[in-house]
Structure 1
């Protein structure tokens, strides 16, 4: 189904692109440590910026992680069930738990981001960085996670192979 391919593809591209941010913030931490201990000249910006980049990195990978089956699952009950019963339980889990959570995550993170933007919220460090870009990223990440949930449910309904078995 093209909708499944589209959603999976978006989360795959986002996940791979965002993974490079880990290299950037690791480099910034190394630079700050060298400056601080090697030259006694710590940066004023590295701590706040790396903290924000890590938050961005962590939250943006939710849809990618769901696509690849990397979220925590409790399979104690479903492991011993027949495949059809397992699929039904998983679909019910998405409908009862995942989608209500995703809806709250999407709506509240959007409100959170817009309030931050309207207030011109900044960090409290020596360099006051705007916070709203990371909070907007949280709302985008919530949407990506919800979309991936739709893809996963469609795969279960259509009896498609589970995404985390795909390379």
Structure 2
């Protein structure tokens, strides 16, 4: 039940965030057409497309982990028997993944809270608010952390995939 709920959350977030790629591609195309076809560049497109790409990049971490799309080097691990592989994976989560994501979560929260309190904006031609992107870092860390819990539970229970 917990595994399925976490997996569904990251699946839904991933599918929603993928739409951002289409949006920021459209903004870039619009800016290029305005700049070169009409000699009327926009002042906001570059900053906005950078922010949307930032949302896109950070919020897909949990989705990527769910689908095992992260970088792995299994040259040695694949030679071990399944029981040893499970122990090594669990140790990797305990020693590296969870401490990293916890630090990512707590630091990004502080980072976002400070930015939000200051009403921080970009320094570009148009002062776009940057605190939503910094808050997205915190959300991304939370999504990554809970997906890690799901993956550990799958390892412990001996399951690789859970039906949607």
The answer to whether the superposition gives a TM-score over 0.5 is: yes
Q: What residue is the counterpart of 1:5 in the other structure?
A: 4
Does residue 22 of structure 2 align to residue 28 of structure 1?
A: no
For residues 69-148 of structure 1, the aligned pairs below 5 Å read 69-148=68-147
Q: What residue is the counterpart of 2:155 in the other structure?
A: 156
Q: Aligned partners of 2:10, 2:156: CA distance in 1, in Å?
A: 20
Q: What residue is the counterpart of 1:46 in the other structure?
A: 45
> Any stretches of 5+ residues in structure 1 without a counterpart?
none
Count of equivalent residues: 164
CA shift, 1:162, in A, is: 4.4
- Secondary structure of the residue aligned to 1:104 is helix
- Secondary structure of the residue aligned to 1:160 is coil
- Secondary structure of the residue aligned to 2:160 is coil
Q: Aligned partners of 1:95, 1:37: CA distance in 2, in Å?
A: 52
CA shift, 1:3, in A, is: 0.1
> Any stretches of 5+ residues in structure 2 without a counterpart?
none
**Comparing 154-163 with 130-139, which one deviates more in the overlay?**
154-163
Summarize the Cα distance change of 1:10–1:142 in structure 2 as closer, same or farther, 3 Å threshold.
same
CA shift, 1:161, in A, is: 2.1
Q: What do residues 95-154 of structure 1 show as CA deviations (whole Å, max 9, x unaligned)?
A: 000000000000000100001011111001111000000010110010000000000000
Q: Aligned partners of 2:160, 2:61: CA distance in 1, in Å?
A: 20
Q: Aligned partners of 1:51, 1:15: CA distance in 2, in Å?
A: 19
- Secondary structure of the residue aligned to 1:44 is coil
Q: Aligned partners of 1:114, 1:74: CA distance in 2, in Å?
A: 36
Q: Aligned partners of 1:146, 1:44: CA distance in 2, in Å?
A: 37
